[in-house]
């Protein structure tokens, strides 16, 4: 599958989809509190997407080869869940950390973004993991410019994560995105600087590092979707959809409620 270089018109559509995905996270933020179920968060997001935004929740019934259809409209991954957590009856409690991953389709274009949420009072260790993972995502984003390589992104993320004593999940990666949810290229969150595909203007892909407090190994639950850390250590993830511009990068999944980019 070849990498799609987006036209000006496609970039316009991707900007709108990206902003809308981010606005779902803005909308849901005040509801992420102790006592709420992940199913309730899913329902609120679903209704907001379908009825307020007129967007399509891309995860709902999404079924890549070898997977059963995803049964919900967002992914909710709590504590040692790495990604692809299925919303359900679980009640969030103080001290939990949760990733909400939103993908909307608007006019045929996908916007894909996720944030970490601290539920009530969280441990210093949990907060440090979430903050460092945010820094990792942004350090990767800041590598993006024409002429840079995919390895520059991966190695920057890996170095920052591992120098903080954390590990990088290898089995899941960022991805090209556009009219399809998952396109080429794969964006690894580890690797060697100066290796891999060279970036060109008009490429659009996600950067979405999954960083574990403990060991990097993962396992899949019997539901066929939820990924957890093998050692049950905490895991965090942040995701943005990014455009390669003539000058560098443009983050497409930003909105009024996006946390600011970190300094440095």
CB closest to ligand MF3, residue no: 59
Binders in 96-115 for Co ion, by CB under 5 A: 101, 112
Pick what 152 binds: Co ion, ligand MF3, none; C-beta below 5 to 8 Å, kind-dependent.
Answer: none
Q: For ligand MF3, give the closer residue by CB, 113 or 155.
A: 113
> What are the distances in angstroms from CA 86 to CA 77, 78, 90, 221?
7, 10, 10, 11
84: partner contacted, choices Co ion, ligand MF3, none (Cβ within 5-8 A by kind): ligand MF3
Q: x-or-dash pattern for Co ion, window 227-256, by CB under 5 A?
A: ------------x-----------------
Residues contacting ligand MF3: total by CB under 6 A: 12
Nearer to Co ion, 25 or 122 (CB): 25
Cross-strand partners of 102: 113
C-beta separation of 239 from 254 below 8 A: no
- Based on the shown chain and the rule CB under 6 A, indicate whether residue 42 belongs to the binding site for ligand MF3: no
Q: How far is the CB of 123 from ligand MF3 (least distance, A)?
A: 26
Cβ atoms < 10 Å from Cβ of 7: 10
The continuous run of DSSP H or E covering 14 comes out as helix 8-28
Q: Is 183 in the site for Co ion (CB under 5 A)?
A: no
Q: Specify the residue, 33 or 219, whose C-beta has the smaller distance to ligand MF3.
A: 219
Q: Which two tokens stand for residue 30?
A: 């005040």
Site residues for ligand MF3, 208-237, by CB under 6 A, read 208, 225
Q: Is 206 in the site for Co ion (CB under 5 A)?
A: yes
CB atoms within 10 A of CB 120: 13
The one of ligand MF3, Co ion, none whose footprint includes residue 149, by CB under 5 to 8 A per kind, is none
241 cis-preceded (ω within 30 degrees of 0): no
> What stretches of the chain adopt beta strand conformation (E)?
56-57, 75-78, 81-83, 97-106, 109-118, 167-168, 174-176, 183-187, 204-207, 210-212, 218-220, 227-229, 235-237, 240-244, 249-251
Answer with the entry of Co ion, ligand MF3, none that 42 interacts with (C-beta below 5 to 8 A by kind): none
CA separation, residue 243 to residues 92, 121, 129, 151, 209 (Å)? 34, 35, 26, 17, 17
- Helices 38-47 and 8-28 pack at an angle, to 10 degrees, of 130
Residues 228, 218: contact at Cβ < 8 Å?
Answer: yes
* Stretch 54-113 residues interacting with ligand MF3 (CB under 6 A): 59, 62, 70, 75, 84, 101, 103, 112
What's the closest the beta carbon of residue 239 comes to ligand MF3, in angstroms?
A: 5
Report the interface residues with ligand MF3, using CB under 6 A: 59, 62, 70, 75, 84, 101, 103, 112, 206, 208, 225, 239
Instruction: Give me the residues that bind Co ion (CB under 5 A), please.
Output: 101, 112, 206, 239
């Amino acid at each position: 599958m070849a990498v799609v270089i987006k036209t000006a018109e496609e970039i316009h559509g991707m900007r709108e989809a990206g902003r809308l995905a981010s606005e779902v996270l803005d909308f849901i933020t005040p509801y992420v509190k102790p006592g709420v179920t992940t199913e309730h968060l899913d329902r609120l997001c679903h209704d907001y997407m379908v009825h307020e935004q007129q967007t399509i929740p891309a995860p709902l019934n999404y079924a890549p080869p070898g997977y059963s259809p995803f049964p919900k409209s967002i992914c909710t991954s709590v504590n040692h869940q790495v990604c692809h957590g299925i919303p359900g009856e679980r009640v969030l409690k103080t001290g939990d950390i949760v990733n909400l991953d939103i993908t909307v389709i608007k006019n045929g274009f996908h916007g894909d973004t996720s944030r970490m949420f601290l539920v009530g009072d969280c441990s210093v260790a949990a907060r440090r993991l979430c903050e460092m993972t945010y820094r990792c995502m942004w350090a990767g984003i800041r590598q993006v410019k024409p002429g840079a390589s995919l390895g520059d992104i991966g190695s920057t993320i890996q170095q920052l994560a591992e120098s903080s004593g954390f590990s990088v999940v290898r089995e899941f990666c960022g991805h090209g995105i556009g009219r399809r949810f998952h396109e080429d290229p794969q964006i690894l969150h580890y690797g060697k600087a100066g290796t891999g595909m060279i970036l060109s203007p008009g490429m659009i892909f996600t950067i979405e590092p999954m960083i574990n407090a403990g060991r990097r190994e993962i396992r899949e639950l019997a539901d066929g979707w939820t990924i957890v850390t093998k050692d049950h250590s905490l895991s965090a993830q942040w995701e943005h959809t990014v455009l390669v511009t003539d000058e560098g990068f443009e983050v497409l999944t930003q909105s009024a409620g996006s946390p600011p980019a970190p300094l440095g």
